[in-house]
């Protein structure tokens, strides 16, 4: 790809913004980026040690090809930077036997030739004695399920962007943006920065950046680390898979095995609660830890006793339909929107970096992103 003289500004250098900045800079684009907090911070969506990726994706069909491409791009990022990011540990999804999650997991795995097994409760307990799936459940086991470290991923993309000449500014909030005949103008402190294109990747703070045009809200998701009642080594990431439990009422929580140097299992519910960026609640709410541990201990009884060793709230931008919002701004074609990644965007980080770079530099991408079109909301309005 030949070098372009276009200046692209990136607003927000979290997971998606740092990936966009790195990809753009690597393609020879002049990049300037702004982040309101410090490098790879723990204030938004991208912290808490671990994120998961699985190939047998159960959402709308547009996601699965992007997940598969992401696996390759995660590995390319490792090769390019020397950072170890993707770690295959296997994953279990324990769901009602007659539920949609199991059917869809099997359908995606079959369609794309993804190795998988469907296990009865007794077989799960035989292989992993910590796990006691309830009667009436089946367990979908995918050995290629993997985990990534969110903070290190953001840092890796920041380093890559800087290595390719990006001019990145931390602790530097953008207070507003407008488009004019000169391009896109960003107000940063008492300066006006002019760029040809702007990528907005503001995560939980997205709503305020789109002047109510796009229905994306801040959502709070709560992570809890729990020390098991038994020897922690039993849950070591070296030999214990990640797991997800979906109840017959449709409530879902997930857990990560214990990382090296740690003594606790991290767990969370997949669904969050509406939050307000002016008033972010970072501590545990009354009963919050107990509800999560109670839910998960139906499957893994040996986490019942010791309570939380650590908690961390995350804040994410979630679209009204819980699908990503990626594409040109409906009213301003030289602004690219990257928002609404909710609780399922991290696995796509490298492919979204590619898509955002394609859109900023070429105005189009060869991936199918029709589901994510920002105009879908404007058409509905
Ligand atoms: C608890 C939790 C668990 C998750 N687990 C998974 C998982 O297992 N697998 C998976 O695929 N996904 C998962 N996700 C989802 C994934 O982590 C998010 O979708 C992803 O991190 C979102 O990245 P982002 O770039 O949109 O947000 P962020 O990384 O938060 O980046 C947005 C950035 O914009 C900055 N910003 C905002 N406004 C301004 C401004 N005005 N000026 C300058 N900077 C600004 C913010 O400070 C922030 O750094 C999880 C999310 C959470 C919260």
State which of 202, 252, 322, 342 you would mutate to test the pocket of ligand 1, scoring each by most atoms of that ligand within 8 A of its C-beta. Answer: 202
State which of 10, 13, 14, 272 you would mutate to test the pocket of ligand 1, scoring each by most atoms of that ligand within 8 A of its C-beta. Answer: 14
Nearest-angstrom CA–CA distance, 16 and 204: 12
Task: Specify the pLDDT at position 213.
Answer: 82
Q: Do 348 and 67 touch, CB atoms closer than 8 A?
A: yes
Encode 237-260: b = buried (16+ Cβ within 10 Å), e = exposed: beebbbbbbbbeeeebbbbbbbbe
Residues 6+ apart with CB under 8 A from 207: 214, 216, 217, 218, 277, 317
CATH superfamily of 7-47+150-215+321-380: FAD/NAD(P)-binding domain (3.50.50.60)
Task: Specify the pLDDT at position 3.
Answer: 35
Q: How far is the CA of 324 from the centre of ligand 1 (A)?
A: 12
The two tokens of residue 366 are 């060869």
57 lines ligand 1 (CB under 6 A): no
Task: Specify the pLDDT at position 306.
Answer: 80
Q: How far is the CA of 213 from the centre of ligand 1 (A)?
A: 20
Q: How far is the CA of 12 from the centre of ligand 1 (A)?
A: 9
Q: How far is the CA of 258 from the centre of ligand 1 (A)?
A: 23
CA-closest residue to ligand 1 atom 27: 203
Q: How far is the CA of 62 from the centre of ligand 1 (A)?
A: 21
Q: How far is the CA of 317 from the centre of ligand 1 (A)?
A: 7
pLDDT < 50 regions, the chain: 1-5
37 lines ligand 1 (CB under 6 A): yes
7-47+150-215+321-380 shares its CATH topology with 91-143+218-319: no
Nearest-angstrom CA–CA distance, 18 and 81: 14
Q: How far is the CA of 239 from the centre of ligand 1 (A)?
A: 29
CA-closest residue to ligand 1 atom 51: 343
Nearest-angstrom CA–CA distance, 199 and 17: 8
Nearest-angstrom CA–CA distance, 33 and 39: 12
Domain ranges of the chain: 7-47+150-215+321-380, 91-143+218-319
Residue 302 DSSP one-character state: G
Percentage helix, strand, coil for the chain under 3-state DSSP, each rounded to 5: 30, 30, 40
Task: Specify the pLDDT at position 378.
Answer: 82
Q: What is the CATH number of domain 91-143+218-319?
A: 3.30.9.10
State which of 93, 242, 346 you would mutate to test the pocket of ligand 1, scoring each by most atoms of that ligand within 8 A of its C-beta. Answer: 346
Backbone angles phi, psi at 155, to 5 degrees: -60, -40
160 lines ligand 1 (CB under 6 A): no
Element (H, E) at 290: helix 288-297
Ligand 1 atom with the shortest distance to the CA of 173: 42
Residue 200's beta-bridge partner residues? Answer: 11, 337
201 lines ligand 1 (CB under 6 A): yes
CA-closest residue to ligand 1 atom 45: 12
Task: Specify the pLDDT at position 379.
Answer: 61
Q: In what order do the strands lie in the sheet with 183-188?
A: 174-180, 183-188, 191-195
């Amino acid at each position: 790809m030949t070098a372009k003289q276009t200046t692209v500004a990136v607003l927000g250098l979290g997971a998606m913004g740092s990936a966009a900045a790195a990809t753009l800079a690597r393609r020879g684009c002049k990049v300037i980026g702004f982040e309101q907090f410090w490098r790879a911070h723990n204030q938004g969506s991208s912290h808490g040690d671990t994120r998961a990726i699985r190939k047998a994706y159960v959402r709308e069909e547009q996601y699965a090809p992007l997940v598969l491409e992401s696996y390759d791009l995660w590995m390319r990022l490792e090769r390019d930077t020397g950072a170890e990011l993707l770690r295959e540990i296997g994953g279990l999804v324990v769901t009602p036997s007659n539920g949609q999650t199991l059917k869809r997991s099997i359908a995606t795995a079959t369609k794309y030739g993804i190795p998988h097994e469907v296990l009865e409760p007794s077989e799960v307990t035989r292989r992993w004695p910590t796990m006691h799936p309830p009667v009436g459940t089946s367990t979908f086991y995918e050995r290629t399920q993997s985990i990534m470290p969110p903070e290190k991923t953001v840092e890796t993309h920041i380093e890559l962007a800087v290595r390719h000449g990006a001019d990145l500014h931390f602790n530097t909030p953008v207070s507003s943006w407008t488009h004019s005949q000169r391009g896109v103008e960003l107000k940063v402190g008492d300066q006006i920065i002019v760029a040809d294109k702007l990528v907005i990747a503001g995560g939980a703070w997205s709503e305020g950046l789109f002047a109510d045009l796009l229905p994306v809200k801040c959502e709070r998701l709560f992570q809890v680390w729990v020390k098991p009642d038994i020897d922690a080594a039993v849950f070591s990431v070296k030999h214990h898979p990640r797991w997800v439990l979906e109840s017959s009422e449709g409530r879902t929580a997930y857990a990560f095995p214990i990382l090296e140097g740690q003594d606790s299992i991290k767990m969370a519910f997949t669904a969050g609660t509406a939050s307000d960026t002016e008033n972010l609640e970072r501590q545990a709410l009354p009963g919050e830890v107990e509800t999560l541990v109670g839910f998960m201990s139906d499957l893994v009884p040996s986490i019942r006793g010791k309570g939380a060793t650590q908690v961390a709230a995350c804040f994410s931008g979630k679209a009204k339909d819980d699908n990503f919002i990626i594409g040109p701004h409906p009213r301003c074609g030289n602004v690219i929107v990257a928002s609404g990644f909710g609780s399922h965007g991290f696995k796509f980080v490298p492919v979204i970096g590619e898509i955002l770079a394609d859109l900023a530099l070429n105005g189009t991408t060869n991936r199918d992103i029709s589901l994510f079109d920002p105009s879908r909301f404007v058409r509905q309005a």
